[in-house]
Amino acid sequence: MKAVGELMKVFITRRIPQEGMKILTAAGVCEVSQWDSDEPVPRTELLRGVQGAQGLLCLLTDKIDAEVLDAAGPNLKVISTMSVGFDHLAVDEIKKRGIRVGYTPDVLTDATAELTMALLLATARRIPEGVEEVKNGGWSSWKPLWLCGPGLSGSTVGIIGLGRIGMAIAQRLMPFGVKRLLYSGRTAKAHAAEVNGEFVPMETLVSESDFIVVTCSLTPETQGLCNKAFFSKMKKTAVFINSSRGAVVNQEDLYEALSSGQIAAAGLDVTTPEPLPTSHPLLTLKNCVVLPHIGSAENSTRGVMSALAARNLLGGLQGSDMPSELSF
């Protein structure tokens, strides 16, 4: 048994699924302190909690910047985020200080692809609107022209960012009889052949797609990518879906496009900010379906993410391999 003094100090910024906590406890190498709540850690508590830590296990809601790294001090060896996205981490600053980073790719791919499909179908076929009409007495009869929306069969779908999640969505789209699958991104991908994906310039994807699905990561290049110019090139009948990060979209421009009939509908699992204030104009629109960032909220997925984040943390603390280390 090691004396407490020899244990490595770790700060965890939230209550996380048991799977990860059990792994950390069983390893017996760290002294864990935690923001033991379902709500995000206040900034002051984060700055306090991280002091002297050798390991930090954080979530996508925690902005890990130079101030946090300074507060942690020189002992910080590893940051393990329980997320596949890492736009909340000041990667350059982290790299400069030689701190290793773990993240959780792959394990949430299926869950996020499933949710994106659900959001796409719900938005296109106006499911939330239909549910609301049933509840509020708006359902007067079966009506030939009521609550119609576009279907996937025979359609063209454009995926922005054919990475792990984009590819899993493409695979799920195939049995729906999609006619063309377009994708854009930095480079053509060999794996696109599996889904008959056509690598096209962004302009072509935007103007030819009946459905646009955004799954790229948030980077300086993709920030605000879906803006007025983007929406103005879309078909008036097209549906826009975003399950990546809210900041890829200019929400004022999206509101304008939706309310003016420039595009048919939008489904968003991510927004800026999160949560989206209940007074936000997008929430007044029937043709906009907004979900509270639940892409990976599938029963077993969060436990698996938590376990992977714990293993990444241990790898970084012990100077050994991390199952999913971010290479930068």
Ligand X SMILES: O=C(O)[C@H](O)CO
CB of 50 to ligand X, least distance (A): 21
Nearer to ligand X, 178 or 289 (CB): 289
The answer to the question of residue 108 lying near ligand X (CB under 6 A) is yes
Angle 266-269-272 (CA atoms, 0-180°, nearest 5)?
A: 90
* Nearest to ligand X of 21, 59 (CB atom): 59
* 309 part of the interface to ligand X, by CB under 6 A: no
Place of tokens 């975003």: 242
For the CB of residue 162, give the shortest distance to ligand X in the complex, in Å: 17
Residues 6 or more apart whose Cβ sits within 8 Å of residue 12: 32, 33, 34, 35, 57, 58
Told to check if 119 binds ligand X by CB under 6 A, we report no
- Say if residues 59 and 40 touch (Cβ distance below 8 Å): yes
Residue type, 47: L
Q: Which residue number, 150 or 295, has a Cβ lying nearer to ligand X? A: 295
Across the chain, the runs of DSSP E, i.e. the strands, are 8-12, 30-34, 55-58, 78-81, 100-102, 156-160, 180-184, 197-199, 211-214, 239-242, 265-268, 288-290
Q: Is 280 a catalytic residue?
A: no
Question: In angstroms, rounded to a whole number, what is the distance separating the alpha carbons of residues 299 and 114?
Answer: 13
- Using the rule CB under 6 A, is 84 a contact of ligand X? yes
Q: Return the number of the residue (251 or 296) whose C-beta is nearest ligand X.
A: 296
Given candidates 10, 50, 58, 60, which one binds ligand X under the rule CB under 6 A?
60
Q: Among residue numbers 270 through 299, which ones bind ligand X (CB under 6 A)?
A: 295-296
HSE at residue 328, side-chain half, CA atoms within 13 A, is 19
Segment interacting with ligand X, rule: CB under 6 A, options 78-86, 89-97, 151-159, 275-283 = 78-86
Q: Which stretch binds ligand X (CB under 6 A): 39-47, 80-88, 253-261, 274-282?
A: 80-88
For the annotated catalytic residues, the residue numbers are 293
Q: Which residues of the shown chain bind ligand X in the complex (CB under 6 A)?
A: 60, 83-85, 108, 295-296
